[in-house]
Chains A and B, each alone.
Chain A
Amino acid sequence: MTQTPKVMVKATNVWKSFGHNEVLKGINLEVKAGEVTTLLGPSGSGKSTFLRLINHLDTASAGRITVDGDLVGYREHNGALHELRPQSIAKMRSEVGMVFQQFNLFPHMSVLQNIMEAPVGVKKESKARVRERAERLLERVGLADKRNAYPGSLSGGQQQRIAIARALAMEPKLMLFDEPTSALDPELVGEVLDVMHDLASTGMTMIVVTHEMGFAREVADSVVFMDGGVVVESGRPKDVLSNPQEERTQAFLSKVL
């Protein structure tokens, strides 16, 4: 490989405040295509907020984020940023998968309906084709037998695996995971991490906000440690996790490891 991998996500001096509360204070970050990046840091460090800016669920107060070269939420014209129309934002979001801490499956739809809703309704793909893909994805997350179940009858781990399948059904170029295992009973964490590990091995670009140090160490290509709304330290997992340079990183890791 002589070619350097292309940049999938690039954040340049991103700020975000809620009222007077400044949550992000100038984030600079680059995620390369095909890599798994984990965002670590204490609660309130701004990890989840940053993740939500990437698909414009929240709007940055300042700075720019690009996904696959396209500016998120805006169009640049004559040196000024213009807000995008809702349709354009929706289009961009349809190319970025997101997995939530609380799964957020649609409780009134069966597993299969959950997975097929967006590809059929948003991307207007044929039902037969989407169904085939949905079955394949269910097979992949090990829940083919749950296709007609409703989310309420599934365990947290199963729901999260369905949520991952639902996001993948849109064939995204980037997957965002917002603390995907934090709401799970301890014995169910493993099955979700296994699916994510499997996904990483297929070359999916993933940004994962997590507290799972094992996952960060074994699966991630890079680790970003955030605290107080800034990136404190980033690099390869073995460098950041085993030999942290910054005092704040050391303090955090000594508590969680």
Chain B
Amino acid sequence: MNTSMNGLTVPDVSVGQRSPEKVKKLKRPGRWASYIMMGLVAVLVIQSVATNPNFGWPIVGEYFASPRVLDGLVNTLQLTFIAMLLGVVLGVILAVMRLSTNPALYGAAGLYIWFFRGTPVFVQLLFWGFISALYPTLALGIPGAEPLFSTDTNSLITPVVAAILGLALNEAAYMAEIVRAGIVSVGKGQTEAAHALGMSNMRTLRRVILPQAMSVIVPPTANNVISMLKTTSLVSVLSFPELLYATQLIYAENFQTIPLLITASIWYLIGTTLRTIGQYYTERHYNKSTRAQGLSIMRRFIELQKRRGTNDAPAR
């Protein structure tokens, strides 16, 4: 114990060597038991999958990289990309509308979100597929006057258009809520600071709010991409040859249903796995400022130590 000037005793905090004491790890018999159990289950599953001829692995291998399956895969990826892109753009617009002070705007956005989140996407896709039963012809023009442009609905809303509309409009409703949550998560002080600098609402949103909202928006959006990749399989009912429908067409000819479904499943798994890895990097990118804040505690500590030493006054 050291005795300081004012008579108080303070603990001895002299820096010493790290002690070389041996520590015995806790024994975990339960853990070992579970290793054995899981190992056993894995062996059984693998054996069954490998030896059951009904899986038809040679057929999976035959069709895995066949042109028809690959075409379907490309269609699926394109559909995912376009539907997501439109969904995000429309979602941002809806979110901003939802947060507007204009009752017509936030009312309309609310109604949209209510409807498109409230009905199954499968039903929505069917509606778009059968839209010509609802409106046999589509026309553009002023009501009452001769239309400037008129066409048969089926020639305009092809299966691919129906698929994009169905997926994108549904996605927009979910994206709107994600973006709204992101915008709301940015503190009110940021808007006030931007306004106080003379920035317009639009500029504040674009330069100050949305970049910060990104760290809240990106993770669930990436999650939605994964979900979208799989949801595109619903489009098979519209006879659009995406991955699932492409394989369905094949097994309709050769009756190898299971091997072809396995083929499709493997491709979906590859797609979602790659996306998950990509998500890690996107999230890391958008968390830059958060990471800088994490650093600040250390920096602050160091600076405090420095200031104590030098009685730092602002240099002017």
* Residues of chain A whose beta carbon lies under 8 Å from any beta carbon of chain B: 55, 57, 86-87, 90-98, 100, 102, 104-108, 117-118, 121-123, 140-142, 150-155, 161, 163, 166-167, 170, 187, 190-191, 194-195, 198
Contact = CB atoms under 8 A, between A and B. Distances in A.
Nearest first, the 5 A-B pairs at minimum CB distance are A94-B198, A152-B293, A104-B193, A118-B197, A142-B314
Contacts of B22: none
Contact of A108 (B201, B289, B295, B303): B289
B196 A107 contact: no
B199 A104 contact: no
Contact of B199 (A121, A163, A187, A195): A121
B305 interface: no
B288 interface: yes
A122 B198 CA distance: 7
A104 B192 CA distance: 8
14 contacts: A87-B200, A90-B200, A92-B198, A93-B195, A94-B198, A100-B196, A105-B193, A106-B193, A106-B208, A122-B203, A142-B315, A154-B299, A170-B197, A195-B316
Nearest to B299: A153
A153 B208 CA distance: 19
Contacts of B295: 152-153
Contacts of B300: 155
A118 B198 contact: yes
Contact of B316 (A91, A106, A140): A140
Contacts of B201: 86
Given A140-B316, A194-B316, A107 B197 contact: no
B196 A93 contact: yes
B257 to A, nearest CB: 51
B289 A55 contact: no
B220 interface: no
Given A92-B198, A121-B207, 8 more contacts: A91-B198, A100-B189, A105-B193, A108-B288, A108-B289, A122-B197, A150-B289, A152-B293
B247 interface: no
Nearest to B293: A152
A98 B208 contact: no
A150 B201 CA distance: 24
B239 interface: no
Contacts, number: 105
B195 A194 contact: no
Contact of B293 (A92, A107, A142, A167): A107
B56 interface: no
Given A150-B289, A154-B296, A94 B197 contact: yes
A91 B197 CA distance: 9
Contacts of B76: none
B203 A121 contact: yes
A167 B193 CA distance: 9
B190 interface: yes
Most B-side CB within 10 Å, residue of A55, A95, A107: A107
B307 interface: yes
A170 B198 contact: yes
B316 A90 contact: no
B211 interface: yes
B212 A108 contact: yes
Contacts of A150: 289, 292
Interface in B234-276: none
B303 A107 contact: no
Interface in B66-94: none
A150 B290 CA distance: 10
Given A155-B303, A167-B197, A102 B296 contact: no
A99 to B, nearest CB: 9
A150 B303 CA distance: 15
Contacts of B203: 121-122
A86 B201 CA distance: 8
Contact of A141 (B290, B294, B314): B314
Contact of A90 (B199, B208, B299): B199
Contacts of A86: 200-201
A194 B288 CA distance: 32
Nearest to B214: A108
Contacts of B200: 86-87, 90, 122
A118 B189 CA distance: 16
A191 B313 contact: yes
A107 B207 CA distance: 12
Contact of A57 (B196, B199, B292, B294): B196
